[in-house]
């Protein structure tokens, strides 16, 4: 297949005459130099784009014959651009299968399979933890005494919970 990004001013294709064969059920890791087309290949395999020329076949059938929802439910991609939504970690993991997102046992199992269980278990709020919360806390005319109950509440609100990039990848996985 060959691919050029739509509307690109570049005269060079992002991919030229690429041919890949992936056996069913295989884990594939795409590595290469910057700008070599790794992300583009993943986007094409995920049907975010179609090739400019050539075809992609899944089980011998052109990929366009599959419903996008079926294709995307049967595959998983983990990129360096991972996003965790301002929801609980449980809800973020549940987004992987929205119909079963409230199934706690399934979410815990998925966290174990993705390698995130140990990291999540160490957090004070566990699966209820929210990362990157878009809220801010302000205190005006509060006592500077750290034992003051209002000062303690403000401190709790101001604490930001964060995890490493690798831990984020495990949660997304």
106-164, pLDDT tens digit by residue?
A: 999 999 998 999 999 999 889 999 886 555 666 677 777 878 888 777 776 655 667 77
Q: Residue 67 has what pLDDT?
A: 92
**Does a structural domain hold residue 82?**
no
In sign, the C-alpha dihedral spanning 67, 73, 78, 81 is positive
Together in a domain, 167 and 99? yes
Give the pTM.
0.56
32 Ramachandran zone, left/alpha/beta (phi>0; psi -120 to 50):
left
Task: Report how many domains make up the chain.
Answer: 2
Together in a domain, 97 and 42? no
């Amino acid at each position: 297949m060959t691919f050029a990004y739509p509307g690109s001013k570049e005269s060079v294709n992002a991919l030229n005459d690429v041919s890949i064969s992936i056996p069913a059920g295989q884990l594939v890791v795409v590595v290469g130099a910057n700008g070599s087309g790794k992300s583009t290949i993943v986007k094409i395999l995920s049907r975010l784009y179609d090739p400019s020329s050539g075809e992609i076949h899944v089980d011998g059938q052109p990929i366009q014959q599959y419903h996008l929802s079926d294709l995307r439910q049967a595959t998983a991609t983990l990129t360096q651009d991972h996003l965790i939504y301002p929801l609980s970690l449980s809800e973020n993991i549940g987004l992987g299968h929205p119909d079963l997102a409230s199934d706690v046992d399934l979410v815990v199992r998925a966290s174990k399979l993705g390698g995130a269980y140990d990291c999540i278990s160490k957090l004070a709020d566990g699966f209820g933890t929210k990362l990157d919360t878009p809220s801010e806390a302000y205190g005006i005319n509060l006592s500077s005494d750290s034992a003051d109950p209002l000062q303690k509440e403000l401190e709790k609100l101001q604490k930001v919970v964060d995890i490493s990039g690798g831990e984020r990848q495990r949660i997304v996985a």
